[in-house]
Every structure is written in C-alpha cells, then in structure tokens.
C-alpha cells in the first residue's frame, strides 16, 4: 500500500491535463489508467477547442506540440437550418481575433499530454480500480491485482461510465437521446480555408470541421436506426451521402478513416464533489456535441479544480469545504451549457412544420443582430 495526496482515476485528456496542472505544486500526484500510453485505439474523434482551453494547454506546455501541424484554426463558421438560405455566420475578424477556436484530433491531444506526463514527476500507474473504501481522512483504492493506494483526494476523470461516480454513490441524472454520432475523416477537393460548417435538418446534425492538409472531420448525429443503416453501407455510399447532405460545398470527398459511432446522452451530476472525492470531465457531466463544448467543459473543470487546490495554502486537498469551491465555480457554467445544448437538440430534432419554421426564422433573424452573435461567440470562446 502506498500513500499519496491525490490519485487521479483516468488518464484521458481531462485526467492528464488536471494532473499536469498540479505537477509543480509540491503534492504527490498519481494517475491510474487501464490503458498504457501509446496503446489507445484511434476513434477518429476530434475536439473543438476554445481559446480558453488553448490557454490552459499552453500553460501546461503542450500547446506548442499541437501547433506543429496537428491542429487547424477555425477562422469562420457557417450554421445552416433546414433551408440553405437559413444561415448564421461567425467570422473571427468580426471579434478582433485570428481564430474562433481550433480542431484537434483526440489522438493528437492525448499524445501531447502523455508526452508531457512522461517528462513530469507524476507517477503513472497501470491498472484498474475495483473497489473503494471511503474514510474520513482518506480514500483507499483497491486494484484488480490486489494492490491498493491510499489518497487524501480521489479525482474521478474516468468518463461517462465513471466507476468512481457510481461506486462513491454520487447522485446523477441520465437521459438518452436515442441518437448516435457517426464520425470519420475525409479529404476534400475544395480547400476549406479554416471554415467550419454545420447543418441542422430535423433529426440530424451534420458538421464538417477543418483539419490540417485540407482534411475534414465529419460528425453526423442522427437517430440510432439511421446510424445503423449508414454504418452498414459501403464506404463509397457513405461518402456520397455526406456530399449530398453538405450540398457539395467541399467538392468531391474521399474517406481516409473508417466510420465509427458513439451514443449521444445527457448526464448531470447535481454535486460533483463530496468529502475526499471530486469528479471532472465526462464523469461529472455529458452534453450533446452539437455545440462542440464537451471537451472544453472538461478542460475547464481540470483547470478550476487544480487552481482551487494550488491556492489551498496549508489545507488538505480532500477537505469538503475546499472541494465545494470547485463545485460553486463550475455549477452555473455546466448547468447553463447543459440547458442550452438540450434545448437546441429538442428544437432542431422536431420535424413538424411549426418547429421547422421557428428554427429557420430564428437563424435568419439572429444572423442580422450583431450583439447577439457576439454574445454567443463570447460564451463559446470562453468555454462557457
């Protein structure tokens, strides 16, 4: 049995970023994961990173690695309704910035974080936690190989199916949308010029996101039955459907990865902190990906919790009053984003004529009201 200050359960993007933020704070920090570094399977998923997330990654010393051809800036965004003339556009130059955000693959950001962890003094543990003993002054985590660690703070960064959340007994609320997000990468014949596009069509949401070397990431959310049918098609037919749904704006497309899919859910944890245990990232909340804010919420969780701990002075990092500061700073932001994405999903999934008219009329009207567009973009760029 080993003792430490903080044990992070989950070595994915959120858990790795949180651990790196604490690398120089004088605490003993360990990260446990059942996946060895460099052995993660490629999912083809990408993240849309906000400027706030970019600043956090730069602070961790990993952004410079991603800048070397591994991320693509978003210089403009076009969002379409059911009708092509129903559109709202966002241009970086309208807001006095060079880019609205960046698109980076999950594989690349995870690799950059893993390399930074390898250079740090943080202990990395390979294994799977199978049980917990929650005590007044510590948590004991037991592993499948019968080893154990005792820690003053256990941080659950282990995803939407979080073992830590479930075993520790956090209250949670779960909703399934009955939709899947199909993702794969494509090569386009027409340069994307840093333009991200998104189409809302009753029940479906298609996004074409810019990647380096004139590649695109296609993320197509649709009802599960339609996703199953899509995945059963040949790759050529899948690409044809993407070209048709995107009105040929990217020219001819060529698939460069195999399509994969993941379910879309809403997960809410009313209080992601208790004595000795805190949750971050998808362990604490899951939102619909239509606004591209899931990764940003997780990275901001990591930054806020790390800052609360670093500013603790002589306080124990696992004390409830300290963890409550993290909860209070994140509660409003997370709750707001969940309400926004859930409401948009409801509005844009309905296929009745009135809902169709409302969303198309709304997009056209908002596109002509600059202060509303600025407010929307301000919230997105702050990751809030």
Q: Where are any strands of DSSP class E within the chain?
A: 2-9, 29-33, 46-49, 71-74, 76-80, 87-91, 101-105, 123-126, 129-134, 139-143, 148-156, 173-188, 195-201, 204-211, 215-223, 253-255, 260-268, 273-274, 277-279, 285-286
CATH dotted code for 2-41+106-174+267-345: 3.50.50.60
The per-residue pLDDT for range 218-230, each reduced to its tens digit, is 999 999 999 999 9
The per-residue pLDDT for range 362-380, each reduced to its tens digit, is 666 666 555 566 666 666 6
DSSP state of 116: H
The per-residue pLDDT for range 170-220, each reduced to its tens digit, is 999 999 999 999 999 999 999 999 999 999 887 789 999 999 999 999 999
Structural element, H or E, at residue 275: none
Amino acid 368: pLDDT: 55
Q: SS3 letters for 14-83?
A: HHHHHHHHCCCCCCCEEEEECCCCCCCCCCCCEEEECHHHHHHHHHCCCHHHHCCCCEEEECEEEEECCC
pTM for the whole thing?
0.91
Amino acid 1: pLDDT: 45
β-pair type (215-223, 285-286): unpaired
d(CA 181, CA 204): 10
Share of the chain above pLDDT 70, in %: 89
Per CATH, domain 66-105+175-264+346-381 is 3.30.9.10: yes
Residue 164 three-state SS:
helix
Residue ranges of domains in the chain: 2-41+106-174+267-345, 66-105+175-264+346-381
Q: How far, in whole angstroms, is CA 9 from its chain's centroid?
A: 17
Q: How far, in whole angstroms, is CA 198 from its chain's centroid?
A: 18
Tell which residue, 131, 113, 12, 100, has the closest CA to residue 291.
Answer: 100
């Amino acid at each position: 049995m080993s003792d430490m200050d903080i044990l992070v359960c989950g070595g994915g993007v959120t858990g790795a970023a949180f651990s790196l933020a604490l690398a120089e704070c004088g605490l003993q920090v360990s990260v446990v994961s059942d996946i060895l570094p460099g052995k993660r399977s490629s999912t083809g998923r990408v993240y849309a990173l906000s400027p706030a997330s970019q600043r956090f990654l730069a602070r961790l010393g990993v952004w410079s690695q991603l800048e070397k051809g591994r991320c693509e800036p978003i210089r403009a965004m076009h969002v379409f309704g059911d009708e092509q003339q129903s559109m709202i556009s966002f241009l970086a130059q309208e807001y006095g910035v060079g880019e609205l955000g960046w698109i980076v693959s999950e594989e690349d950001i995870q690799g950059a974080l893993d390399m930074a962890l390898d250079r740090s003094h943080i202990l990395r543990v390979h294994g799977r936690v199978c049980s917990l003993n929650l005590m007044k002054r510590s948590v004991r985590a037991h592993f499948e190989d019968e080893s154990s660690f005792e820690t003053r703070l256990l941080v659950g960064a282990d995803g939407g199916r979080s073992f830590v959340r479930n075993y520790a007994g956090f209250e949670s609320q779960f909703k399934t949308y009955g939709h899947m997000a199909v993702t794969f990468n494509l090569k386009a014949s027409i340069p994307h010029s840093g333009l991200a596009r998104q189409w809302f069509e009753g029940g479906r949401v298609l996004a074409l996101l810019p990647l380096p070397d004139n590649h695109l990431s296609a993320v197509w959310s649709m009802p599960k039955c339609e996703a199953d049918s899509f995945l059963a098609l040949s790759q050529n037919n899948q690409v044809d459907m993407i070209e048709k749904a995107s009105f040929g704006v990217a020219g001819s497309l060529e698939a460069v990865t195999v399509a994969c899919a993941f379910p879309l859910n809403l997960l809410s944890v009313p209080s992601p902190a208790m004595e000795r245990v805190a949750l971050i990232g998808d362990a604490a909340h899951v939102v619909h990906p239509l606004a591209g804010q899931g990764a940003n919420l997780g990275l901001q969780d990591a930054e806020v919790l790390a800052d609360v701990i670093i500013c603790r002075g002589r306080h124990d990092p696992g004390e409830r009053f300290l963890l409550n500061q993290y909860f209070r700073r994140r509660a409003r932001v997370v709750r707001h984003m969940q309400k926004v994405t859930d409401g948009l999903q409801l509005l844009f999934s309905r296929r009745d004529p009135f809902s169709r008219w409302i969303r198309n009329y709304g997009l056209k009207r908002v596109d002509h009201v600059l202060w509303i567009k600025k407010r929307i973009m301000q919230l997105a760029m702050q990751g809030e």
